[in-house]
Amino acid sequence: MVKYLINGGFPLVGSVRISGAKNSALKLMAASLLTTGKVTLHNVPLINDVFTMADVLREIGADVTIGPDSVEIDASGELHHTTPYELVRKMRASIVVMGPLLARLHRARIAMPGGCNIGPRQINFHLSGLEKLGARINADHGFINVATNGLTGDVISLDYPSVGATENVMMAACMARGRTVIESAAREPEIIDLAKFLSSMGANISGAGSDTIIIEGVEELGGATHTVIPDRIEAGTFMVAAAVTEGEVEVEGINPLDLEIFISKLRAVGVDIKEFDHSVRCKGEGGYSSVDISTLPHPGFPTDLQAPMIVLLSLARGHSIVTENVFENRFGFVDELNRLGASVRVSGHHAVVHGDSRLEGTIVEAPDLRAGAALVLAALAASGTTEVGRIGHIDRGYESFEQKLQGLGADIQRVEVETNDRSHFIAPFN
């Protein structure tokens, strides 16, 4: 087992280049199943979730080659319609192979997905959308079975702007007969990235980035080369890191417009931010003010940056109210943060953050991906030494996390820990 040892209290200074977006790369890899042509994806982060998705695709029958900064996928051979439980349980995003398999093979058998334990992420939005396109659906022994005699376009009004459901329906509809209209579609930058990729393969898609996406079905898709967009969540994490350590960090290789609401909240707290075409400079000087936050689907405040923001608010004057509207268990890290000296009280979908906390090093464990990163930020702001365990969660979504922090002056080390407890070898449904 591995953990981080962090000596906090040092300002982060310098520049950091942001990797490709995890939440985009995984869906683009799944979309490669739609074509017999070769797919090349550049700017793919080398993280555990990417390795897991590569293994899922290999089990399906695709040939996947991972290079230093790119992934090549060849799904021209005979494909299998079943995804193995042992892999899918590790990562909820694996559910998005359902749409491509349904379009390509007219059937799919998908193990119920795992991932981070941040609350129920209902797949009924996915299933109802695919059902409208002509899929027959049943479940047995932990698997979802979908089949069709041929997909036909329809008007699909999502009850919630689910990113995964929007992506699954988009991919399935690309080769459905006729027109598909997705109403109340997700508007995230990752949706736009997927639409651009599918269009480069020959799909006919319009409206991505709005709440109405229109897909005109085509008979087949070809290979393509595409560069993954920067990871806005990683970018936000490093911006908060600069703020909580009262440092100055230039976050490079991003689109600031993708973080407009988040940046506005950082400024309201008192963080000095200068925006450029493809970077932001973030300077923290302390004396922060409390603000209230409500997470919402894009373009609202991103739920994935809620935990890092709570760390920052714990250092601000006064008290802040954070409302989680996306995932009900996003506050599962609060007890660990309070162990470091924060004062956060949770009531339902709300967290009251009492500021002016003096964080001090202790032993904590990462309960999930984003919470794990937030605890690292808290440790960097704390006095003394902090041990952060279960960092495998962090490895799922952040490429070279400690190396990038070290490059900014952080005193952080990854260390091996001997243990007889083998529970960490089993990925929880979290």
- 231 phi and psi angles, rounded to 5 deg: -85, 105
pLDDT at 114 (0 to 100): 52
pLDDT reading at 260 higher than 80: yes
Average pLDDT over residues 327-332: 85
In this prediction, what percent of the chain has a pLDDT beyond 70? 95
- In the chain the domains, ranked by start, together with CATH numbers, are 2-19+230-425 (3.65.10.10), 22-227 (3.65.10.10)
User: What is the pLDDT, as a whole number, of residue 122?
Assistant: 64
The reply to whether omega before 299 is within 30° of 0 (cis) is yes
The SS3 of residue 74 is strand
pLDDT tens, residue by residue, 35-52: 999 999 999 999 999 999
Checking if the pLDDT of 215 tops 70, the result is: yes
The secondary structure of residue 328, as a DSSP letter, is: T
Among 94-103, 321-330, 386-395, 401-410, where is mean pLDDT lowest? 321-330
| Active-site residue identified among 75, 103, 111, 116 | 116
Q: What is the mean pLDDT of residues 212-224?
A: 98
Cα distance between the two ends of the chain: 18
**Structure confidence at residue 422 (pLDDT):** 38
- Quick check: 425 pLDDT over 80? no
pTM: predicted TM-score of the whole model, two decimal places: 0.94
Asked which of 130-144, 245-259, 354-368 is least confident by mean pLDDT, the reply is 130-144
Average pLDDT over all residues of the chain: 93
Residues β-bridged to residue 226: 41
For 369, counting Cβ atoms within 10 Å of its Cβ (0-12 exposed, 13-18 middle, 19+ buried), the class is buried
Give the residue with greater pLDDT, 209 vs 422.
209
The residue-averaged pLDDT of 83-105 equals: 88
Looking at residue 327, its pLDDT comes to 84
Neighbour-count burial of 67, counting CB atoms closer than 10 A to its CB (0-12 exposed, 13-18 middle, 19+ buried): exposed
What does the pLDDT look like over 337-350, one tens digit per residue? 999 999 999 999 99
Q: Which whole number is the average pLDDT over 268-281? A: 98
Give Cα separations from 227 to 18, 19, 20, 200, 397 (angstroms). Answer: 14, 11, 8, 11, 18
SS3 assignment, position 81: coil
- At residue 41, the pLDDT reads 98
For the record, the structure tokens of 261 come out as 């609401």
CB 387 within 8 A of CB 228: no
Window from 103-117, 267-281, 338-352 with minimum mean pLDDT: 103-117
Checking if the pLDDT of 421 tops 60, the result is no
User: Count of CB atoms within 10 A of residue 217's CB?
Assistant: 20
Residue from 243, 253, 215 nearest 17 by CA = 253
With bands split at pLDDT 50, 70 and 90, how would you rate the model's confidence at 313? very high
Q: Which amino acid is located at 389 in the chain?
A: G
What pLDDT shows up at residue 424?
A: 39
Quick one: DSSP state of residue 97?
G
pLDDT digits (tens, 9 = 90+) for 26-85: 999 999 999 999 999 999 999 999 999 999 999 999 999 999 879 999 999 999 999 988
State yes or no: pLDDT of 269 exceeds 80.
yes
DSSP helix/strand/coil, 412 = strand
78-111 as b/e, with b when 16 or more CB fall inside 10 Å? ebebebebebbbbbbbbbbbbbbbbbbbbebbbb
Q: Residue 251: is its pLDDT beyond 70?
A: yes
3-class secondary structure, 420: coil
Structure tokens at 420: 């007889």
Give 134's DSSP letter.
T
**Catalytic annotation on 116?**
yes
- What pLDDT is attached to residue 118? 36
pLDDT of residue 97: 95
Question: What pLDDT is recorded for position 427?
Answer: 35
Pairing of strands 63-66, 70-74: antiparallel
DSSP 270: T
Question: Is the separation of the CB atoms in 327 and 367 below 8 Å?
Answer: no
Element of type H or E holding 25: helix 22-31
Question: Could you tell me the pLDDT band of residue 1, with boundaries at 50, 70 and 90?
Answer: confident
Q: How is residue 95 annotated by DSSP?
A: G
**CB contact at 8 A, 396 and 386:** no
